[in-house]
A and B are shown apart, each in its own frame.
Chain A
Amino acid sequence: MAGRTLTAQFAKEARALAPVCLAGLATIAAASLLGARWTSGLELPAFFVGVAALGAWSIGQEYSQRTLSSLLAQPVRRERIFAVKLAALAAMLLALAAFEVTVLGRTRERSEYRLTLVAVPLLWSAGVGPWLTMVARSAVGGAVFTVTLPALLMILIEWLGPSKFDHTTEADTGRLALIWGASAAWCAAGTVFGWRRFMRLEAIDGGGVDLRLPAWLVVRASEQRGVTRRHPYGLLVKKELRLQQITFAVAAVSAIGTSFVASRASAEIADAARVVTLIDVPLVAMLIGALASAEERRLGTLESQLLVPIAAWKQWTVKAGVAVALAIALAFGLPALVGAMSAHVGFRAGLATFAHPTMLTAIVMLTIGSLYVSSACASGLWALLVSAPLVLGTFPALISPIMSAVSAWLYRSVLSRGYRGLGLTPHDRTLLVDAVYWGLIAATTCLLLGLGLRNHRTVDRAARRMILQGILLAASVVTATILLSAAVVLIR
C-alpha cells in the first residue's frame, strides 16, 4: 500500500516536471546543436535557466495550478511529500545535466570547468529553488532568483579571487574551491530553510507575487471613503508595471551587482560581469514578455480586465507598449548605463558592444516573441520556458539555413548568368535593403502582436488554434527570410 502510494506520488511529480525538463532540453538543443554562431555559448545560460525552472516548478506547480491545499491535505507525512518532490527533481536534473555534459563535451575545450559548470547549478536548483519559490509563492519568482542570486555570487567570487590572490593557477584553484564551498553552503542553507518552510507551509495558493517594498517606501493606500477616479490608461500602464515587479527585482539585483563589481574590476571580473550581462539581457527581455499576458491569466484577473469598457485591442496595445518600453529600458538602457558608469575600461568597452541598433532590435523582437508566447500560456514561467527554445531555435533552425540556401540558389541561377543588378547607387541600394529589412521586421511584429491579441482576448486556449498559428508564423518567417535573402542578393 505504502509502496503503491509512493510510486503514484513519484509518478505525479515526475509527470509534472517532465514538460519543464523537455523545454530545458529543447532550449539547450536550440542554443547549441543547431550550430548558429550567435547562439553558441548560450547553451550554458539555457542550462542554468532550465535547472532553475525545474527547481522552481517542483513547488511552483502547486501554486500555479492551485493544488497546494489538496497536496498538503493528503494523508501522507509532509516529510515524505517533500522528499518525493526532491527525488523527482533530482531525477529530472540529472537527465538535464547528462544532456548538458554531452553538449559541453562537443563544444567546450576547458574540461576542468565542466564539472563545476554542470554540478554547481544542480546544487542551486535542488537546494535553493524550492525554498525561494516558497518564499516568493510564485514559480517564476523562484526560478529567476535561483538564477540571479548565484550568478551574483559567482561574480563576487571572481572579484574576491584575483583581487586577493592575483590571476595565478593557485588563484584559479582557490576560486573553484570557493565556488564549490559557497555553492555547497548556499545549497545546504537552502535545503534546511526549504525543508523547515515546507514543514510549516501554509496553503495560501494563488496568492500571487509576494515581493513587497518596505512599508516606509510605500505610498499609503488611501483610507478615504470616497472613490478616486484616475485616467484609465494611466491605471493600465501602472497595472502593467506592477505585473513586472519580478523583472524589476531581477534587473535591480543584476545592475547593482555588476556595477558594484565592475567599479573594482580587473579584466577577469569584467569578463564575468559581461557574461552575466549576456545572460541577463535576453533573460530580462524574455521575462518581460513572458509575464505580461500569462501572469494575468495565472492571477485569474484576465476576464475582469477584458470586461472593463476599453477595447481589448487598446488594452493589448498598452500592454505591448509597456513591455517594449520596459525591455528597452531594462535590457538595453540599464546595461548601457552600468557600462558607461563603470571605472573599468574593459568592462565599459565590453558593454558598449551591446549598445548597437541590432541588439536593440533583437531585444524588442525577443520581448514581442515572448509576449506572443505569453498570450497562449497559463503562467509566466511556462511562457519563459516555451519562449526560450522557440526564440533561440528560430534563427538557427529556420532563418539561417533558408538564407544560405536562397542566397546560394540566387548566386547559382541568377547572378552567375549575367544579372547586372538594378542600377542603383550604393547609397540607394543600402536604403532599399534597409527598407525591406525594416518592413519585414514590422510585418513580423504586427503578425505576432495580432495573433497575441487574438489569444489574449479569449479565455479559451484551443490546441487547434495554436497549431494553425504555429504554421502561419513558420510560413511567415520562411517567406520573410526568402524575401530578405533575395533583397540582399539582388539589390546590389
Chain B
Amino acid sequence: MAAEQPVIAIDRLVRRYGRTDAVNGLDLRVRAGRCYGFFGRNGAGKTTTIKCLLNLLRPTSGRVAVFGLDPARHEVDVKARLAYVPDAVAFYPWMTVRETLDYFASFRARWNEQTERALVDRFRLDVRQKTSALSKGQRTQLALVAAICPEPELLVLDEPTSGLDPIVRREFIQTVIGAYQEGDPGRRTVFVSTHLISEFEGLIDEFTIIEGGRSVMTLDADTARERYQKIFARFSRDDEPVDLAGARLLRRRGRELEIVVNGNATDVMDRLKAQSPEMLTSEALTLEEIFVATLQPGLAEA
C-alpha cells in the first residue's frame, strides 16, 4: 500500500432503501494508523456506511475503497486485513467460547494466542460456556477478542461498547484499543462508530459527524478542540449588553454567560474583555460537546 494511500476512501457514497436515502453523497478519508471516530445520531447512516465498506451492502452510487481496493472485487484481500465488531453480536449457539475462538482462528493467517489469553482472562470469560448462555456484554467481549486476536490492519467497530458495563468499557477502550494500536503504530487503524463519544475522547485522532447521510463536519480532534471553545464570563451587572456575534449562546443566567465559539475565540474574547468582566475563562470543548453543538438544533445563534 502506498504511503499516502488511505485505509478507507469513500467518494460521493449514496445508498438508498426504497425512497429513503440512508447515505447521501458521503465523502470520507481515513489514513493508516489513525483512530477515526464516526459520529452521528440514530438513523444518520453510520451502520449503512460501514456495511457498504464491508461489502455487506452494495452502494447505490459512489465509490468505496478499503486499502485502495474495491471490497466487492477484492473481497478476500480486504476481509483478510480487517475485523469487524457489529452493534448486535451473535454467535452460533451450539458453540462454546473456546470453540467460537477456534472457529474464527481457523480462518485467519495470524492469531495472537497471548492476546487471546490475556483478553479472555481480563474479561473473565469462561471458555467452556456455550455462547447461547452469554450475556449481551459478554457476547460483545467475545466479539472483541475474536476481532483483535488476528491483529488486523483495520478494526471496524460499530457501537462496540453499548453492551459493556462501565468498568469493562473503560478498560476496553483505554487498554484494549490503545494496546491494539500501539502494537504496530502507524499501521493499525481503528474506525469506530459510537454514541458514547466521551468514552473515546483520548483515543480519537480524527472524526466525521454525519447527519442525514451527509458529512457535516470532518476534523482532526486536536484542531477541533482548538477551534471549539467554551467561554465563561461573569459581569458586574445583570443586564450587561454583550455583542455575541459569531458565538453560540449556551446559557445566560443573571450576570453569568456561557457561550461556544468556533474558530474565533480570540475575537470574541477580545470583545468580552472590552466590557471588563469580573471573570473570563475559556476551555476546549470535548468531542461530545462539539458533537452536540454541531447537531443540537436548540442552540440558536446568538
Q: Please state if B98 and A223 are interface contacts (CB–CB under 8 Å).
A: yes
Chain A positions within 8 Å of B183 at CB level = none
Chain A positions within 8 Å of B82 at CB level = 307
User: A76 an interface residue at 8 Å Cβ cutoff?
Assistant: no
Q: Please state if B86 and A303 are interface contacts (CB–CB under 8 Å).
A: yes
Chain A positions within 8 Å of B237 at CB level = none
Alpha-carbon separation in the docked complex, A464 to B84 (Å): 29
Q: Please state if A223 and B106 are interface contacts (CB–CB under 8 Å).
A: no
Pick the interface stretch among A34-42, A230-238, A249-257, A286-294.
A230-238
Alpha-carbon separation in the docked complex, A224 to B99 (Å): 11
Chain B positions within 8 Å of A208 at CB level = 92-94, 132
User: A135 an interface residue at 8 Å Cβ cutoff?
Assistant: no
User: A207 an interface residue at 8 Å Cβ cutoff?
Assistant: yes
Knowing A309-B76, A311-B76, the reply to whether A235 touches B90 (Cβ < 8 A) is: no
User: B105 an interface residue at 8 Å Cβ cutoff?
Assistant: yes
Partner of A209, one of B17, B94, B102: B94
Pick the interface stretch among A363-371, A372-380, A455-463.
A455-463
Partner of A207, one of B58, B75, B84, B132: B132
Q: Please state if B107 and A222 are interface contacts (CB–CB under 8 Å).
A: no
Alpha-carbon separation in the docked complex, A170 to B14 (Å): 73
Knowing A207-B93, A221-B98, A458-B58, the reply to whether A230 touches B106 (Cβ < 8 A) is: yes
User: B273 an interface residue at 8 Å Cβ cutoff?
Assistant: no
Alpha-carbon separation in the docked complex, A367 to B113 (Å): 41
The chain A residue sitting closest to B107, CB to CB, is A308
The chain A residue sitting closest to B98, CB to CB, is A222
The chain A residue sitting closest to B143, CB to CB, is A304
Chain B positions within 8 Å of A181 at CB level = none
Q: Please state if B107 and A232 are interface contacts (CB–CB under 8 Å).
A: yes
Which parts of B91-121 form the interface with A (CB within 8 Å)? 91-94, 96, 98-99, 101-108, 111, 113, 116-117
Chain B positions within 8 Å of A304 at CB level = 84, 86, 89-91, 143
Which interface class (under 10, 10 to 19, 20 to 34, 35 or more) fits B?
35 or more
Knowing A207-B132, A299-B90, A307-B79, the reply to whether A229 touches B105 (Cβ < 8 A) is: yes
Q: Please state if B117 and A460 are interface contacts (CB–CB under 8 Å).
A: no
Alpha-carbon separation in the docked complex, A208 to B92 (Å): 8
Q: Please state if A299 and B92 are interface contacts (CB–CB under 8 Å).
A: yes
Alpha-carbon separation in the docked complex, A204 to B104 (Å): 26
Chain B positions within 8 Å of A222 at CB level = 98-99, 102
Knowing A225-B117, A227-B101, A229-B102, the reply to whether A309 touches B80 (Cβ < 8 A) is: yes
User: B88 an interface residue at 8 Å Cβ cutoff?
Assistant: yes
Which parts of A303-328 form the interface with B (CB within 8 Å)? 303-304, 306-312
User: B10 an interface residue at 8 Å Cβ cutoff?
Assistant: no
Q: Please state if B99 and A221 are interface contacts (CB–CB under 8 Å).
A: yes
User: B51 an interface residue at 8 Å Cβ cutoff?
Assistant: yes
Alpha-carbon separation in the docked complex, A68 to B209 (Å): 35
Alpha-carbon separation in the docked complex, A158 to B197 (Å): 68
Knowing A301-B91, A303-B86, A307-B54, the reply to whether A235 touches B18 (Cβ < 8 A) is: no
Which parts of A80-137 form the interface with B (CB within 8 Å)? none
The number of inter-chain residue pairs (CB within 8 angstroms) is: 102
Alpha-carbon separation in the docked complex, A457 to B75 (Å): 11
Chain B 1-39 near chain A by CB (<8 Å), digits 1 or 0: 000000000000000011000000000000000000000
Q: Please state if A223 and B103 are interface contacts (CB–CB under 8 Å).
A: no
Chain B positions within 8 Å of A464 at CB level = 18
Chain B positions within 8 Å of A300 at CB level = 88-90
Chain B 123-143 near chain A by CB (<8 Å), digits 1 or 0: 000011000100000000001
User: B299 an interface residue at 8 Å Cβ cutoff?
Assistant: no
Alpha-carbon separation in the docked complex, A207 to B133 (Å): 8
Q: How far is the CB of A195 from chain B (nearest CB, A)?
A: 26
Alpha-carbon separation in the docked complex, A67 to B54 (Å): 28
User: A426 an interface residue at 8 Å Cβ cutoff?
Assistant: no
Chain B positions within 8 Å of A245 at CB level = 94
Q: Please state if A231 and B106 are interface contacts (CB–CB under 8 Å).
A: yes
Partner of B17, one of A225, A235, A309, A460: A460
Which interface class (under 10, 10 to 19, 20 to 34, 35 or more) fits A?
35 or more
User: B292 an interface residue at 8 Å Cβ cutoff?
Assistant: no
Alpha-carbon separation in the docked complex, A307 to B86 (Å): 11
Alpha-carbon separation in the docked complex, A301 to B104 (Å): 12
Alpha-carbon separation in the docked complex, A303 to B94 (Å): 18
The chain A residue sitting closest to B57, CB to CB, is A460
Alpha-carbon separation in the docked complex, A269 to B210 (Å): 68
Q: Please state if B96 and A221 are interface contacts (CB–CB under 8 Å).
A: yes
Chain A positions within 8 Å of B55 at CB level = 457
Chain B positions within 8 Å of A264 at CB level = none
Q: Please state if B79 and A242 are interface contacts (CB–CB under 8 Å).
A: no
Alpha-carbon separation in the docked complex, A332 to B101 (Å): 36
User: A167 an interface residue at 8 Å Cβ cutoff?
Assistant: no
The chain B residue sitting closest to A208, CB to CB, is B93
Chain B positions within 8 Å of A463 at CB level = 18
Q: How far is the CB of B15 from chain A (nearest CB, A)?
A: 9
Q: Please state if A228 and B58 are interface contacts (CB–CB under 8 Å).
A: no
Q: Please state if A303 and B56 are interface contacts (CB–CB under 8 Å).
A: yes
Q: Please state if B116 and A227 are interface contacts (CB–CB under 8 Å).
A: yes
The chain A residue sitting closest to B88, CB to CB, is A300
Alpha-carbon separation in the docked complex, A462 to B93 (Å): 28
Which parts of B48-73 form the interface with A (CB within 8 Å)? 51, 54-58
Chain B positions within 8 Å of A196 at CB level = none
Q: Please state if A309 and B90 are interface contacts (CB–CB under 8 Å).
A: no
Q: Please state if B98 and A306 are interface contacts (CB–CB under 8 Å).
A: no
Alpha-carbon separation in the docked complex, A207 to B56 (Å): 24
Alpha-carbon separation in the docked complex, A311 to B75 (Å): 6
User: A226 an interface residue at 8 Å Cβ cutoff?
Assistant: yes
Partner of B102, one of A227, A299, A311: A227
Task: Give the 6 A-B CB pairs with smallest separation, nearest first.
Answer: A300-B90, A208-B93, A309-B80, A308-B107, A309-B79, A221-B96
Interface pairs (13), CB distance under 8 Å: A221-B128, A225-B127, A301-B91, A303-B54, A303-B56, A303-B84, A304-B86, A307-B82, A307-B83, A308-B107, A309-B108, A458-B58, A459-B56
Apart from A235-B106, A301-B90, 18 more pairs, CB < 8 Å? A221-B96, A222-B99, A224-B98, A225-B127, A227-B111, A227-B113, A228-B105, A232-B106, A245-B94, A304-B84, A304-B89, A306-B56, A307-B56, A309-B79, A310-B76, A457-B56, A458-B58, A460-B17
